[in-house]
Amino acid sequence: MKLLEYEAKKILAGSGIPTPASFIVSPKTKPEFLPCVVKSQVPTGGRGKAGGIAIVQSPAEFAASSNKISELPIKGFLPKTLLAEELLLIKRELYLSLLIDKTAAQIVLMAHTNGGVEVEENRADEFLQLPLSGFDADTVGEQLAEYYDLPDTSFVLQDIVENLYTCFINNDATLLEINPLVLTTDGKLIAGDCKMELDDAAAFRHTDWNFEEKSAEVNFVTLNELGTVATIANGAGLAMATVDAVADAGMVPANFLDIGGGANEASVLAAFERIMRYPNVNVIIVNIFAGITRCDEVARAIIGAKKQIPHLPPLFIRLAGTNFEQAATLLSAEAIPTLGALDECIAAAKESQS
């Protein structure tokens, strides 16, 4: 789950990381302070270039810029919230992040002396990378101060590292990126912008989580709005493989869908309804290989969909694995045919389209 800047900064500030003074812009209120920077809160980068960030000096400018930014879509995202912050007097822009190195199964600190919007121009091997397992925040703070060539900030960086790590752990973060970490002209280090990603799997122990952007939908992805073959499968691997097989046979897959292990009649029915919105779909391939899923539950869902959705395109169904026999009995009672393997479904779908 990706947080918006103002949500991430609220967590940062609560963890003792210096953030700019700020307020949330609401339509009728006056600015709490001026000058300030009005920032569009959208879940994408490149806001500055797109016109989503404005420095304002007067109440009139504040009102005009706020109105303009609130109506400006950036890469398809319209902001629901605008953040206003104090104007930082920037001496340097640094980069600092914590993330999980999945290969080594440890938390890693990454830093670069060249932060800001151009950070992606830096080569991957130029970043300072420090694994944070069994680490000592004081030592890491000193290393950072030396790396950034900011010897006077050693104590400040020690605090930042310690608080950042605690913040990362306490919030089940998978990415916590401060970019830029601003060095102001009066020598303070402040988080200029922040990207934070939290682990959806840990939501059960964070009942207070309530953010604008809900978890990205990963189980249903449109590949081609104009595709002709819709796919329903279980397990991400099999769902991807079903899409690959459709494309390999020269047909155009519309979507990727993993119904997951907990599929029930309602969720599969909802999937069929979404597929019906694709204008050109004339074939649906259902490819279920049940391990933890049970085929009979999927069969009931298919029967329900056939009854409830008018003009359902031809279905080519392959069910295998756990409770296949019960599923076959249920489907044959409704005269719904099934096929034995994915390649048979692909061949039948191809034939139906020709």
Residues serving a catalytic function are 95, 177
Give me the helices (H) in the chain, please: 5-14, 47-50, 59-70, 137-148, 154-170, 236-248, 265-275, 295-308, 324-333, 342-353
Query: How many residues belong to the chain?
Result: 354
Asked if 124 touches other proteins (CB under 8 A), the answer is yes
- Say how far apart CA 294 and CA 305 lie, in whole Å: 17
Position 202 contacts other proteins (CB under 8 A): yes
Sign of CA dihedral 49, 191, 132, 175: negative
**Does residue 107 interact with other proteins by CB under 8 A?**
yes
Q: Contact between 214 and other proteins (CB under 8 A)?
A: no
Residue with tokens 């279905």: 315
**Ordered strands of the 283-290 beta sheet:** 229-233, 283-290, 315-321
Q: Which positions from 327 through 346 interact with other proteins, judged by CB under 8 A? A: 341-343, 346
Task: Note whether 289 and 322 are within 8 A (CB).
Answer: no
- The span from the CA of 173 to the CA of 159, in Å, is 19
Could you say whether residue 65 binds other proteins (CB under 8 A)?
no
Residues 138-167 touching other proteins, rule: CB under 8 A, are none
- Scanning 58-66, 70-78, 103-111, 308-316 for contacts with other proteins by CB under 8 A, the matching segment is 103-111
Footprint on residues 309-328 left by other proteins (CB under 8 A): 320-322
Token reading at 302: 């298919």
Provide the minimum distance between the beta carbon of 344 and other proteins in the complex, in angstroms, as a whole number: 10
Q: How far is the CB of 208 from other proteins (least distance, A)?
A: 16
Instruction: Convert residues 241-270 into a mask of x (bound to other proteins by CB under 8 A) and - (unbound).
Output: x-xxx-xx----x--x----x---------
| Residue placing its CB nearer to other proteins in the complex, 38 or 178 | 178
Written in H, E and C, the secondary structure of 105-165 is CEEEEEEECCCCCCHHHCCHHHCEEEECCCCCHHHHHHHHHHHHCCHHHHHHHHHHHHHHH
What does the binding site for other proteins look like in residue numbers (CB under 8 A)?
A: 2, 45, 97, 99-103, 105-108, 110, 120, 122, 124, 127, 129, 133, 169, 172, 174-175, 177, 195, 197, 199, 201-202, 204-205, 216, 218, 221, 223, 233-238, 240-241, 243-245, 247-248, 253, 256, 261, 289-292, 320-322, 341-343, 346
